Structure 1
């Protein structure tokens, strides 16, 4: 399960407690490689769905206590057993990736929110299980942060996703601001477009803020990892606002100066 991708946010960084790095890396490899099946290369939709079905079959073997059929899943099986991780969270990820293969548009925000529930939230929930901090309150805060991070990725990748025939901006929001898909295809910025991205950014910022009490519940290095992750997401939103939503010319991304700013802000949380 290879991993070779640019990421905005730290994954299994040196800030994490040493004992959690290996299981988190294992979870990330599973998620990243399954996402690649759904997203990368030129495979047909049927082939992508078959690949994800193979992953689902491996999870079924693990659940039944059988050895995985492929070596790549043996380490995942060990992590699930050692840390008593809920297998349903891995299945949720696969469901979301399979949905990405066949579903290219979202009618409204609740529909998009439900996709994020399965595509993003399981990662945060798994980390809380690893840390022994999976209380109901913590899980709710983690869901807010993870969904916000997923939405931020959508807003910065609008042009990239259009190249894959995907539009994550809800249809109700596009209609409310008078935006057509033709405008997205042309990469045409207008004041109406700026207003739409400002609306989406503000809603996402509020969601991220709703999740920040989690920071106070996580000890030591893990707490600092979450601080940096939250501030990284907020900085991308800030960059989108600075260009008034014009994400067509250049994808908003974080550089060394941004990370210095993020580190300073994390100290003040």
Structure 2
């Protein structure tokens, strides 16, 4: 779980309401610390799991309203945020579960398995944001899950080459077999008809998922709603960039340039003023 690439974490956004910057910053520190245990340093898998177990003990202490045995200052701040905003602890435990997966799991058998990982690693961020603003209704939570899942999948498809260097493949193995794409092809960065069809299929699913959750941005008022509109159109624009390269994510990581950000800004304003998403989800069957 690469928090630095985590589009779901609007820590530094100028649109983020000032009152939310401190609590979100503390939540970010907690997630960053756990992610570093799973991904950084030279620890063995067993040592990483042991450190995550210690970290879980810190969450357990917050739940029990007692001093944490590890990272006492950090968990003390988290306890304050949880008490002030009445945040649930379940999303934090889900994030820890994802960190444990990062240690042991480097391939995903099928889309269901990948989405289960996203449910633990991405969805909790949206859930916590909604609880922070008192908008955690069932409808909003479902849409936030869709947006956060799509955000994470977009980062995976941007980083196919970089993840391969870390011996990670997030493309579902069942999908790779279906489209006759091999790991050897990823290693060589081969962009052929099989690869194009696979990526078109994956991107169609992501676009459908992102658009499904987009109405949330129109229900959230103020600057946070604008932030969400921008995140949605930023994600959609990255998908367009991948498509325009012919799905070649090997030669250069698809990112947004100045012109792209201008497009995102215009689309964000239009979405906010028109109260319409302005994008229709494509048919998955059409790209199968």
Q: Which residue in the other structure is 2:142 paired with?
A: 140
Q: What is the alpha-carbon distance in structure 2 between the residues aligned to residue 138 and residue 132 of structure 1?
A: 11
2:13 equivalent to 1:11? no
Q: Which residue in the other structure is 1:230 paired with?
A: 232
| Contact 1:9–1:233 (8 Å) recurs in 2 | no
Cα-to-partner distance string for 1:50-87 (whole Å, 9 max, x where unaligned):
22222111000000000223222221111111111111
2:266 equivalent to 1:267? no
Helix, strand or coil: the match of 1:161?
helix
Deviation, structure 1 residue 242:
0.9
Q: What is the alpha-carbon distance in structure 1 between the residues aligned to residue 7 and residue 100 of structure 2?
A: 24
Deviation, structure 1 residue 10:
6.3
- Mapping for residues 1-269 of structure 1, pairs under 5 Å: 5=4, 8=7, 11-12=10-11, 13-69=13-69, 70=71, 71-269=73-271
* Deviation >4 Å, runs of 4+: 6-10
Unaligned ranges ≥5, structure 2: 272-288
Deviation, structure 1 residue 151:
0.5
Helix, strand or coil: the match of 1:133?
coil
Q: What is the alpha-carbon distance in structure 1 between the residues aligned to residue 128 and residue 204 of structure 2?
A: 27
Deviates more, 1:141-150 or 1:6-15: 6-15
The two structures, once aligned, show a CA RMSD in angstroms of 1.6
Aligned length: 267
Alpha-carbon distance change, 208 to 45 in structure 1, aligned in 2, over 3 angstroms: same
Deviation, structure 1 residue 6:
5.5
Deviates more, 1:235-244 or 1:31-40: 31-40
Alpha-carbon distance change, 11 to 177 in structure 1, aligned in 2, over 3 angstroms: same
Q: What is the alpha-carbon distance in structure 1 between the residues aligned to residue 76 and residue 233 of structure 2?
A: 34
Helix, strand or coil: the match of 1:268?
helix
Query: So what's the TM-score if we normalise by structure 2?
Result: 0.88
